[in-house]
Amino acid sequence: MRCHAPPLSGYRSRMRVHHAPPSQRRSAAFIASFSAALLHPLLKLKCLLPPSPLLSSSTSEVEVFIASFSTALLHPLLKLKVSQAATISYMAERIVGQGSFGIVFQAKCLETGETVAIKKVLQDKRYKNRELQTMRLLDHPNVVSLKHCFFSTTDKDELYLNLVLEYVPETVYRVVKHYSKANQRMPLIYVKLYTYQICRALAYIHGCVGVCHRDIKPQNLLVNPHTHQVKLCDFGSAKVLVKGEPNISYICSRYYRAPELIFGATEYTTAIDMWSVGCVLAELLLGQPLFPGDSGVDQLVEIIKVLGTPTREEIKCMNPNYTEFKFPQIKAHPWHKIFHKRMPPEAVDLVSRLLQYSPNLRSTALDACVHPFFDELRDHNTRLPNGRPMPPLFNFKPQELKGVTLELLCKLVPEHARKQCPSLNF
């Protein structure tokens, strides 16, 4: 089977779907060879599918993607050493995630044996997809890394972007569910460790890249169950927020949606991500969502039941169009009654600093990183419950700390870790 792109249509090619027996219907074979013309931003795809026993009519229900590539258009931070005509082949092993965005496969590179995740996203012409251009900017230990990408089409001429990502086996969502089903609280050291790494990732994307994630939730927080290193993923909703330019307000998953979004604000800031972090932190502490609204309006009701009715000034900070609206007056529910008595006051304090109605009063990601709640992580003697050392927490690059005061720097990087940052001046 030969696949050729029309001279002007660029990255489109037709792919055949071979039907598989039921036992193999949740897997896919990706055979991809990339050529300079295929990868973002443009065009030309030339592909040839050689005969293969993998593709007999009795074996695989899934899509076979073929594409040719050159190292020049790989993710610029990767520097993969392959020849100009090299072929990289992937065998998808199982589906690990799916939703309105598309589908994510766990796959194995047949040449190296490396396990990767391949996220396949339909490119809808009605909506602007910024995920690839965003991910090409990112390089951080707490952000999932992009290895490379390719485009493919189906027989219906639907265009898909396939992102080849590092594979991380667990999510914070599943970890929370595990403890909840066992009727246990997540160990506090994990709560600290996960939340700190989320804040560090956001400090990087907010401050260094200028990107707002806009969908922080436990499902988008990957975690290695052995090292407990956390990686932020799914940048399908991410956007660079430009002051004065409107943005859609119907964004972010409901339980983690900042109140200004519920009020319909279109000129919001990266503070919406910090509200989401507060919701995630509260969920890790409680074992269940803090604001489990059934709808957008009910979400606001759930928030008011905890924080009380926002003041006129707070409403103005969220959306000035609602300042004349009359809300029923509800008193705030004390935080110490929401969390159990043995909850460390530092944990409750951090939640309260993140869950502020006024976006400008919420802790920034970098300020959150130096909160006393995380002091245990800065102790040189702290170990994981399994006895292993902590994952890297203080290996900051200069751009992460650009403009940070010396006082904040000393709080952020403990003395024992400063040798990891030789380029920083203390």
| Binding-site sequence positions | 120
- Binding site feature residues for ATP: 120
Cα-to-chain-centroid distance, residue 119: 13
Cα 246 from Cα 266, distance rounded (Å): 5
Q: Is the dihedral of CA 282, 284, 288, 293 positive or negative?
A: positive
Q: Which residue in this structure is represented by tokens 């910024």?
A: 130
- Is 215 a known active-site residue? yes
Q: Give 38's DSSP letter.
A: T
**Amino acid in position 408:** L
CA distance 289 to 293: 9
Nearest Cα residue to 65 out of 105, 23, 26, 32: 32
CB 180 within 8 A of CB 287: yes
**How many C-beta atoms surround the C-beta of residue 50 within 10 A?**
9
Q: Are the C-beta atoms of 123 and 161 separated by less than 8 Å?
A: yes
Q: Identify the active-site residue in 215, 234, 273, 349.
A: 215
The amino acid sitting at 238 is A
User: Catalytic positions, please?
Assistant: 215
